[in-house]
Amino acid sequence: MIVWLAGWTRRKDAIFRAVTDAAGGGTRLAVIGLSFRGFPETRARTEAALAVAKRQPKGWLGRRLKRALIGAQYNWSRRYFTRHRDAVAMCWNGLTGSRRAFMEGARDAGAGRLYAELAPFPGRVTLDPAGVNAKNGLPRVGQFYLDWAANNPDDAGQDWRALGAG
C-alpha cells in the first residue's frame, strides 16, 4: 500500500493516483498529522528539515512555531509508518520542510519511500526511492551507463535524445 501526501495540483494528484493504481491501491493524505510525543531523533530531523524549508520563518516566534509543527509532523509520520510497516511513503520532491519530515519519519520507521519529481524529459516523471535531483539514486560514474549500453544494445540504440525535440 502506498500512502501519499497530496500534491498541490490536479496533475500531481493524477500522477499519484496512477502510481497507486498500478501498485494495487493507496491512501491519500490531505495533510500530515501531528504528534507531540517525540523520539530521540526528533530534534535532529526537525532541525534538518527546518534548515531546508522553502519558507523560512521570520522572527523567533515564527521559527519556534514552525519547529514545533515540523517536529510534530515527523513524530506523527514515524508513528504512522511504525504501525503500517508494509506501507510506502510517497510525496512530491520530499527534500524540504514538512515533506522531508514526513519522509524521514517513514524512513526511521523502516517503511519504504518513493520520491516523485518531473523528469528531465518532456511528459515524464521520475520516481526514486533514494530522493530527487542531487539526492537521487542514479549512479554518479559514467562507466555504469557505458556497461549498461554494452550489455543492452537493443535498448541503447533507441534515440532517447529525440525525446527532447518534443
Neighbours of 34 (CB within 10 A): 13
Supply the mean pLDDT for the chain. Answer: 89
Q: How many CA atoms lie within 13 A of 58 on its CB side?
A: 0
* Residue partners of 101: CB distance under 8 A and separation at least 6: 32, 45, 46, 49, 70, 71, 73, 74, 77
Read off φ and ψ for residue 152, nearest 5 degrees.
-135, 60
- Residue 142 binned pLDDT confidence (cut-offs 50, 70, 90): confident
Domain extents in the chain? 2-139
CATH-assigned architecture of domain 2-139: 3-Layer(aba) Sandwich (3.40)
- Residue 158 binned pLDDT confidence (cut-offs 50, 70, 90): low
Answer whether residue 58 shows pLDDT above 70: yes
Question: pLDDT tens, 61-114?
Answer: 999 999 999 999 999 999 999 999 899 999 999 899 999 999 999 999 999 999
